[in-house]
Amino acid sequence: MSNAAQNLREERTARVIDREVAPLWHDRFARMIWRHLGGESPSLVLDVHCGAGRTTAEILERFPDARVMAIEPDATQRELAKARAAEWKDRVYLKPGSLVDVATLPAASYDLVIANLVLGEVADTAGVLRELMRVTKPGGQVLATLPLHGSWTEAEDLYREVLRDAGLRDVSRRLRRLAQLRPTGHELARALGEIGIRPDHLVIEQERFELLFSSGREFLFSPLVELGPLRLWKSIIGESGKPQELFWRLKESIDTYYAGHVLAVSVVAGLVRLRVPAQGDASAHGAAETTGEYGRHWPELDALWQTRERVERAAVTGTPSDLDVDIDIDTESPSEEQARPRLPAIDPAASQSSMSMSAEDQAIFALLEQPLPPSRDNEELDALLDQVLEFAAAREDVTEIEDGELEEQDDQEPPRRAGDTLSRIRALIPPPPVIPPPVPKKR
């Protein structure tokens, strides 16, 4: 492909991301950031991986006195960001660079650091946040978003069923590993605690929303999926199977399982808010500025936290606690939507679309035959994929059981004769006790 054609394709991709993907994805996560930008205006802001400049323009509009340095590795995205921030050109500096270039920035330089949807494609989330805190001034804050564990669950469950039916157990393990790399809120909090971030200066928020698709074709053709998780789902296949056939089966599974319904894919959006304490404010003042804000907004939640702290303190000191915590646990049965039956097996002979390929299906195949887009020197994404591909084969000393499986039989095991299992079970059962016959009664 010539350079001109490659540049044209990258420009089209950048515009598709800005027009179709960002309103559904980037802006939904950015809303969690805007909640925390009230009050005093920051003087200098760092926007990491600014993309097409949507977050950069929002900051410049919200804070008329703020100056923003935005870094973005993609040249096409930077051009879109430059056009979007043209009216604030005296207060913004667009610099080519990626997340790894943050290490070259001077320490304690920015009042506010924003990283919208950057942490989802890094191998060391806590280490990246530590580096973002390094460049933040004392008293400043870091706001970063990422998808948490539970995102894309419905689609990946169906994909795992397709991989299992195709006998691609190694790829199924990689898919499971990929899901495990999305941390839960508790895992993220523990990781940040291990690098020395105090709980008083740390807040993790999460909220759930759904993406709706009317069919398998709409799901696979969605730019949000094609330019998002689909590239990772294709990468983990490697040379183990044919992606065209696998994603064809995934499309058929979606249409069969959600016949008459819409495919609702869950997304768990997470926000990490870190405050760098000012000198002399390592405890009380920092708590009042970060976690204390939540106590003022939700008094019941603050009372629950204080009660738990007193109980933990009493357990350490041996002093009995005089507070009882009553928590109502929802024991209702799951809803009908959540308690869906197991995915039925698809009979190719019974599927009309399996017998004849329509123009739409041919378009899906053409989409899946396209090579993966270049990584654009995204070292963090490459490291993330390396972690997933470490699960290329099963360990010999570990027996893994897939979800929903009770036993995995060896294909090399010779078949047993009929009745062999029953005879082996009888051999393990001790003989019944010998009971002497009753003594006849005397007349």
Tell me the pLDDT of the chain (443 aa) as tens digits: 567 777 888 889 999 999 999 999 999 999 999 999 987 899 999 999 999 999 999 999 999 999 999 999 999 999 999 999 999 999 999 999 999 999 999 999 999 999 999 998 888 899 999 999 999 999 999 999 999 999 999 999 999 999 999 999 999 999 999 999 999 999 999 999 998 888 888 999 999 999 999 999 999 999 999 999 999 999 999 876 788 899 999 999 999 999 999 999 999 999 999 999 887 654 445 444 555 565 556 565 555 555 555 555 556 556 554 444 444 444 444 444 454 444 444 444 444 444 345 555 555 555 555 555 554 445 555 555 555 555 444 444 444 555 555 444 445 555 555 455 556 555 666 666 666 677 676 66
Q: Supply the DSSP string of 197-266, one letter for each residue.
A: --GGGEEEEEEEEEEEESSHHHHHH-HHHHTTHHHHHHHTTTTSS-HHHHHHHHHHHHHHHTTTS-EEEE
3-state SS class at 151: coil
242 to each of 163, 272, 368, 371, 416, how far by Cα in Å? 11, 38, 10, 13, 34
What is the C-alpha to C-alpha distance for residues 19 and 266, in angstroms, rounded to an integer?
Answer: 22
Nearest to 75 by CA among 45, 47, 100, 95: 95
d(CA 49, CA 379): 14
Task: List the structure tokens of 359.
Answer: 């123009």
Please tell me the total number of residues recorded for the chain in this structure.
Answer: 443
pLDDT value of residue 297: 60
How far is 156 from 176, CA to CA, in rounded Å? 9
Question: What pLDDT, on a 0 to 100 scale, did the predictor assign at position 333?
Answer: 46
pLDDT of residue 198: 86
- DSSP, res 130: H
Bridge-based pairing of strands 67-72 and 136-147 is unpaired
CA–CA separation, 220 and 356 (whole Å): 19
**For residues 269 and 29, what is the distance between their CA atoms, to the nearest angstrom?**
6
The beta strand positions in 260-310, using DSSP E, are 263-275
> Bridge partners of 136?
110
Which DSSP helix (H) or strand (E) runs through 289?
helix 284-289
Q: H or E element: which one contains 112?
A: strand 110-115
> What SS3 class is residue 48?
strand
Tokens representing 409?
A: 């039989």
Q: Residue 319: what pLDDT?
A: 55
pTM: 0.70
The two three-digit tokens of residue 388, written as one number: 């997933």
What ranges do the domains of the chain cover? Answer: 3-148+182-210+268-282
Domain 3-148+182-210+268-282 superfamily per CATH:
Vaccinia Virus protein VP39 (3.40.50.150)
Side chain identity, residue 369: E
Nearest to 182 by CA among 83, 290, 266: 266
